[in-house]
């Protein structure tokens, strides 16, 4: 049962975290995140970094798809822009890491606006198809703009450098990627307490009504698309620092589908959904590796793994949309509700 | 610069061949869209499935090619019906975006299945067109492109006739026009939904077999579906005429782009067209403009 949640001021009611219980749990989580790198081995640290990057990108896609109701299948390609921006800034100018990440976000946002303007003038699924187009064109640019992107061979990125320390292991990288992701999450959480964020939600729920209420549709849709691209760019920048090589094949269309799966599985239009979904979906291939390893098949396991993973992602999208459209976060809420109502409802 | 007319003609003829296939596949898309309102992103994968089924029946089971073609079309039809019944029907009344994302999932499942069963290696379809060099004027046309084109045109004509005169086709058009009116006239609308997916899948399979016969089959055939999406957007999502005209046009433009600029420009040209169309005429050349009421 939940007690001591009476609210005495409007401000308190509006607060992002409104009870002491929440603060305690957040503190526990923060401590857990701090202790984790010292307890985990290299493999789990690698996964943690990957999860953090994916959470960043999934949060961006969720702003667009979950909150504004516009589907994008170009998230991976936009991450690619961020990754290449970081690669160029690091390789040519050797700029500080955080500035590179911000620049990656900004450049990606500008590219997103260019794609968004034609496709946002029309309703419905045009943006989805235009973003496919954008990702194809971007792939073409990545592999043909030799002087900047190094063509199909790609660019090697120097490790990120913080106060003279090279972030070249997962352990060191963890300390950069997790705080950046937390900042991104907080930014997104706060966005939906402002006029802008609420405008996004209004557009998702009924665009015409939103327009009648005085929300400029094109401006806010573009803003949402730009913000989502910004997140993708920053996440792509971190991706570049993590894997340290960027090629045109690093960001295929299937990776965009991966992020779409993440937010559908996690729950569209919730922050918790991005976190749960991105974590879950990053773990799926690892779990599949284990399962395929156990199965008594003689064929080369790695050959089966890739198609099986594609199938599982597809089935997850379909299954969650039909049977649990609110996603994993709804399951989480159900568990929470059970404890809130605990002795009274049994 | 003096233009190489022979080269130009050859490229143009090849472009017409591809354009016909785009038009045929776009027809499958439009039939599904008109009757169920689903934007089917999996159209390329359905096409690929048809091609691989034909390959599997002909090579794996050793059936004669004509039997393999018929078998592949029938199995695709059954698969289309199953897809509609299991994944699309539960989404009736949900937002179009959810249904669209279901088809994204479907595309992934179909692509994965094909890769799992037949591996990622490119394959060659058994040849079933007569193999002789054909010249139109002086221009050389590969025989499979030549015959493929006429088969495509015949199929398109067949599809159009069927929808004009067959009872099911009339029911389908009635449903596309007004679901409630069609239902009250005794048309079983849910059945029409299934029917449109069955027919759409069969047409896609036919197109897939032709595409495979002309260019070989591989799990990346799904990319063909992306061009088809551009075709239907350029033509207008709900317009049969638009599908035909835009299919031909995009086939030609792609052929010219890859012939004169280089192969890597092909898909880029297609998507540049898409962006231009979205800017100038977002509902397509022949599409109906959406008027929305609250």
In the numeric block, the tokens 């900042």 are attached to: A183
ipTM topping 0.90: no
Distances A287 to A254, A282, B112 between C-alpha atoms, Å: 19, 9, 18
Interchain pair B107, A119: CB under 8 A = no
The DSSP letter of residue A6 is: -
Nearest-angstrom CA–CA distance, B273 and B264: 15
What is the chain A residue with the closest CA to B99?
A321
Query: What whole-number distance in Å separates Cα of residue B41 and Cα of residue A319?
Result: 17
Nearest to A227 by CA among A101, A109, A72: A109
Contact state of B115 with A307 under an 8 Å Cβ cutoff: yes
Query: How many whole angstroms separate alpha carbon A195 and alpha carbon A203?
Result: 12
Q: Is A133 on the interface with B (CB under 8 A)?
A: yes
> Which two three-digit tokens encode residue B164?
């004009």
Long-range contacts, stretch A116-119, CB < 8 angstroms, 24+ apart: A116/A221, A116/A222, A116/A225, A116/A226, A117/A222, A118/B275, A118/B278, A118/B279, A119/B275, A119/B278
Q: How many residues does chain B have?
A: 294
- On whether the CB atoms of residues B50 and B204 are closer than 8 A, the answer is yes
Asked whether the beta carbons of residue B104 and residue A122 sit closer than 8 angstroms, the reply is no
Query: B130: distance to nearest CA of chain A, Å?
Result: 36
Closest by alpha carbon to A319, among B42, B105, B116, B12? B105
Cα–Cα–Cα angle for B196, B228, A73, nearest 5°? 100
Per-position b or e across A91-116, b if 16+ CB within 10 A of its CB: eeeeeebeebbebbbbbbbebbeebb
Torsion sign over Cα B92, B96, B99, B103: positive
Paired tokens of B232: 């239907």
Q: CB distance A125–B100 less than 8 Å? A: yes
Q: Which tokens belong to A219? A: 């401006």
Q: What is residue B1's predicted lDDT score, i.e. its pLDDT?
A: 45
**Alpha-carbon gap, residue A167 to B93, rounded angstroms:** 50
The CA-atom distances, in angstroms, between B237 and each of B7, B93, B228, B253, B258 are 34, 20, 11, 20, 26
Report phi then psi at B217, rounded to 5: -120, 145
| B80 Cβ contact partners less than 8 Å away, ≥ 6 residues apart | B46, B197, B198, B199, B200, B201, B202, B204
Asked whether A112 and A229 are in contact (CB, 8 A), the reply is yes
Contacts of B102 in chain A (CB under 8 A): 317-318, 321-322
CA dihedral A80, A86, A90, A96 (to 10 degrees): -160
Alpha-carbon distance of B140 to A76, in angstroms, equals 42
- The tokens for B273 are 């067209």
SS3 labels along A270-339: CHHHHHHHHHHHHHHHHHHHHHHHHCCCCCCHHHHHHHHHHHHHHHHHHHHHHHCCCCHHHHHHHHHHHH
Torsions phi, psi of B204, nearest 5? -60, -40
Q: Is B38 helix (H, G, I), strand (E, B) or coil?
A: coil
User: What SS3 string covers B69-125?
Assistant: HHHHHHHHHHHHHHHHHHHHHHHCCCCHHHHHHHHHHHHHHHHHHHHHHHCCCCECC
DSSP B217: B
3-state secondary structure of B176: helix
CB neighbours of A341 closer than 8 A, spacing ≥ 6? A1
Q: What is the DSSP letter of B136?
A: E
Interface of A with B in 229-268 (CB under 8 A): 254, 257, 260-261, 264
Residue A16 CA: distances (Å) to CA of A11, A79, B74, B84: 10, 29, 57, 43
pLDDT by position in tens, chain B (length 294): 456 777 888 888 888 888 999 999 999 999 999 888 888 999 999 999 999 999 999 988 888 888 999 999 999 999 999 999 999 999 888 888 889 989 999 999 999 999 888 888 888 887 777 777 777 777 777 777 888 888 889 999 998 898 889 888 889 888 888 888 999 999 999 999 999 999 999 999 999 999 998 888 888 888 888 889 889 988 888 888 889 999 999 999 988 988 888 777 888 888 888 888 888 887 888 877 766 665
Extract the residue ranges of chain A whose pLDDT is less than 50: none
Classified as helix, coil or strand, B265 is helix
Q: Considering only alpha carbons, which residue of chain A is nearest residue B293? A: A208
Closest CA to B230 of A133, A124, A68: A133
Cα separation, A47 vs A212, whole angstroms: 46
Instruction: Find out whether B79 and B262 touch, Cβ atoms under 8 Å.
Output: no
Distances (CA, A) of A52 to A41, A235, B25: 17, 9, 41
* Nearest Cβ partner for B104 among A137, A257, A312: A257
Which residue's entry shows tokens 């992020």? A259
pLDDT confidence of residue A331: 92
The answer to whether A39 faces chain B, any CB pair under 8 Å, is no
With a CB cutoff of 8 Å and minimum separation 6, the contacts of B61 are B68
- Provide, as residue numbers in chain A, all residues whose Cβ is less than 8 Å from the Cβ of B119: 303
Q: Do B294 and A325 touch (CB under 8 A)?
A: no
Residue contact B274–A129, C-beta within 8 A: yes
How many whole angstroms from its chain centre is CA A166?
25
Does A208 contact B292 at a Cβ distance shorter than 8 Å? Answer: yes
């Amino acid at each position: 049962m939940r007690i001591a949640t009476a609210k005495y001021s409007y401000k308190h009611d509006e607060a992002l975290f409104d009870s002491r219980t929440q603060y305690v749990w957040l503190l526990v989580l923060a401590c857990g995140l701090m202790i984790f790198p010292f307890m985990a081995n290299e493999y789990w640290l690698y996964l943690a970094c990957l999860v953090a990057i994916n959470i960043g990108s999934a949060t961006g896609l969720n702003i667009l798809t979950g909150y504004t109701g516009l589907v994008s299948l170009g998230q991976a390609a936009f991450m690619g822009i961020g990754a290449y921006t970081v690669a160029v800034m690091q390789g040519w100018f050797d700029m500080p890491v955080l500035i590179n990440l911000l620049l990656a976000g900004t450049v990606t946002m500008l590219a997103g606006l260019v794609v968004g303007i034609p496709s946002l003038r029309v309703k419905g699924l045009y943006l989805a198809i235009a973003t496919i187009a954008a990702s194809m064109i971007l792939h073409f640019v990545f592999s043909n703009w030799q002087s900047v992107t190094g063509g199909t061979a790609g660019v090697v990125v120097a490790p990120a450098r913080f106060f003279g320390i090279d972030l070249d292991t997962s352990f060191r990288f963890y300390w950069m990627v997790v705080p950046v992701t937390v900042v991104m999450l907080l930014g997104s959480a706060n966005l939906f307490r402002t006029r802008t964020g609420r405008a996004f939600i209004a557009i998702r729920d009924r665009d015409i009504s939103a327009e009648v209420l005085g929300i400029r549709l094109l401006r806010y849709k573009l803003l949402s698309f730009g913000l989502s691209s910004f997140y993708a760019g920053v996440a792509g920048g971190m991706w570049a620092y993590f894997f340290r090589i960027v090629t045109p094949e690093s960001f295929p269309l299937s990776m965009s589908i991966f992020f779409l799966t993440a937010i559908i599985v996690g729950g569209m239009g919730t922050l918790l959904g991005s976190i749960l979904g991105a974590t879950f979906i990053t773990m799926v291939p690892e779990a599949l590796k284990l399962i395929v390893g156990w199965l008594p098949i003689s064929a080369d396991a790695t050959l089966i793994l890739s198609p099986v993973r594609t199938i599982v992602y597809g089935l997850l999208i379909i299954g969650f949309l039909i049977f649990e459209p609110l996603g994993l976060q709804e399951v989480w809420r159900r568990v929470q509700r059970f404890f809130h109502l605990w002795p009274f409802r049994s | 610069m003096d233009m190489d007319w022979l080269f130009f003609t050859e490229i143009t003829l090849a472009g017409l061949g591809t354009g016909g296939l785009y038009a045929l596949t776009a027809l499958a898309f439009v039939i599904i869209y008109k009757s169920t309102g689903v934007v089917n992103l999996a159209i390329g994968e359905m096409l690929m499935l048809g091609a691989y089924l034909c390959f599997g029946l002909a090579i794996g089971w050793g059936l004669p090619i004509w039997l393999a073609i018929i078998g592949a079309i029938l199995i695709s039809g059954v698969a289309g019906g199953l897809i509609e019944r299991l994944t699309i029907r539960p989404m009736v009344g949900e937002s179009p975006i959810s249904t669209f994302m279901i088809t994204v999932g479907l595309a992934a499942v179909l692509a994965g299945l094909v890769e799992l069963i037949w591996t990622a290696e490119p394959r060659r379809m058994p040849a079933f067109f007569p193999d002789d060099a054909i010249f139109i004027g002086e221009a050389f046309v590969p025989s499979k492109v030549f015959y493929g084109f006429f088969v495509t045109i015949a199929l398109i004509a067949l599809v159009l006739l069927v929808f004009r005169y067959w009872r099911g086709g009339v029911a389908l058009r009635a449903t596309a026009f007004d679901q409630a009116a069609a239902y009250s006239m005794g048309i079983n609308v849910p059945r029409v939904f299934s029917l449109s997916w069955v027919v759409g899948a069969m047409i896609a399979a036919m197109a897939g077999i032709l595409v495979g016969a002309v260019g070989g089959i591989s799990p990346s055939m799904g990319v063909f579906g992306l061009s088809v999406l551009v075709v239907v957007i350029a033509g207008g999502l709900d317009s049969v005429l638009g599908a035909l005209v835009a299919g031909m046009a995009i086939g030609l433009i792609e052929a010219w782009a890859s012939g004169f600029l280089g192969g890597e420009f092909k898909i880029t040209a297609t998507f540049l067209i898409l962006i231009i169309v979205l800017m100038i005429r977002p509902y397509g050349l022949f599409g109906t403009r959406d008027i929305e009421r609250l």
